[in-house]
């Protein structure tokens, strides 16, 4: 069985576990953790994650933030100047971070989202070098009604997560879903 198939199976198994209502927002976050080299394969199979979610009786909504930086940058009048001297953009990146947070919160607050909805976020690796995924996730947890499933190319060890295996990890209460172990 491939890593992607095993990950999908573990996710499917995880959906069968009852969802307690009393969890904190951080505990309602699921990191679907996989090797960064599997990113394309995972993206290709995201519709299968949706199928197993709906088969388990839950609603599914997907937010792909891969193009969020390009979309944000396209709205900036002085973008060409930033391309000429990228370090001048550093103060503006807080605005970008807020835009990403707002997109996630907007979906979490959609009228048809309830405690039986999985909000899936893909493209989290596109934040690397621009903002911290950990900060974005921390800012949205208070709005989670059901579950927030983050497709996470990186690693997990204990309670330490490392996005793209490239920076120091952070401790987080999120539930890891990995191909090599279940719940």
31 is a domain residue: yes
Q: Comparing C-alpha atoms, which of 109, 133, 147 is closest to residue 27?
A: 147
On the question of pLDDT at 16 being above 90, the answer is: yes
**The pLDDT of residue 182:** 46
User: Angle 133-140/93-108 helices, nearest 10 degrees?
Assistant: 40
| Model pLDDT for residues 25-58, shown as the tens digit of each residue | 889 999 999 999 999 999 999 999 999 999 999 9
**The pLDDT of residue 98:** 96
Query: Is the CB of residue 4 less than 8 Å from the CB of residue 45?
Result: yes
163 is a domain residue: yes
130 is a domain residue: yes
Mean pLDDT for the chain overall: 89
**The pLDDT of residue 39:** 94
148 is a domain residue: yes
For every residue of 82-151, which 3-state class applies, written as one string? HHHCHHHHHHHHHHHHHHHHHHHHHHHCCCCCCCCEEEEEECHHHHCCCCCHHHHHHHHHHHCCCEEEEE
| Model pLDDT for residues 131-144, shown as the tens digit of each residue | 989 899 999 999 99
Share of the chain above pLDDT 70, in %: 96
Find the range with the poorest average confidence among 75-79, 80-84, 150-154: 80-84
104 is a domain residue: yes
144 is a domain residue: yes
**The pLDDT of residue 165:** 73
On the question of pLDDT at 167 being above 70, the answer is: no
Find the range with the poorest average confidence among 32-46, 61-75, 84-98: 84-98
| Farthest CA pair distance, the chain | 52
Rounded Cα–Cα distance for residues 107 and 102 (Å): 9
More confident call, 158 vs 171:
158
Domain range holding 127?
3-15+25-66+93-178
Rounded Cα–Cα distance for residues 164 and 152 (Å): 8
76 is a domain residue: no
How many domains, the chain?
1
20 is a domain residue: no
Mean pLDDT of 83-112: 89
């Amino acid at each position: 069985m491939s890593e992607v198939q095993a990950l999908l199976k573990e996710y499917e198994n995880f959906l069968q576990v009852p969802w307690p209502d009393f969890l904190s927002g951080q505990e309602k976050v699921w990191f679907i953790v996989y090797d960064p080299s599997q990113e394309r394969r995972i993206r290709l199979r995201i519709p299968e994650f949706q199928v197993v979610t709906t088969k388990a009786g839950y609603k599914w909504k997907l937010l792909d933030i891969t193009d969020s930086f390009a979309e944000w940058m396209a709205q900036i009048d002085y973008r060409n100047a930033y391309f000429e001297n990228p370090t001048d953009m550093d103060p503006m990146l807080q605005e970008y971070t807020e835009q990403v947070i707002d997109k996630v919160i907007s979906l979490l607050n959609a009228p048809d989202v309830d405690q039986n909805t999985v909000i899936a976020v893909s493209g989290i690796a596109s934040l690397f070098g621009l903002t911290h995924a950990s900060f974005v996730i921390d800012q949205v947890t208070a709005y989670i009604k059901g579950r927030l499933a983050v497709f996470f190319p990186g690693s997990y060890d204990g309670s330490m997560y490392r996005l793209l295996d490239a920076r120091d990890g952070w401790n987080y209460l999120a539930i890891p879903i990995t191909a090599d172990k279940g719940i």
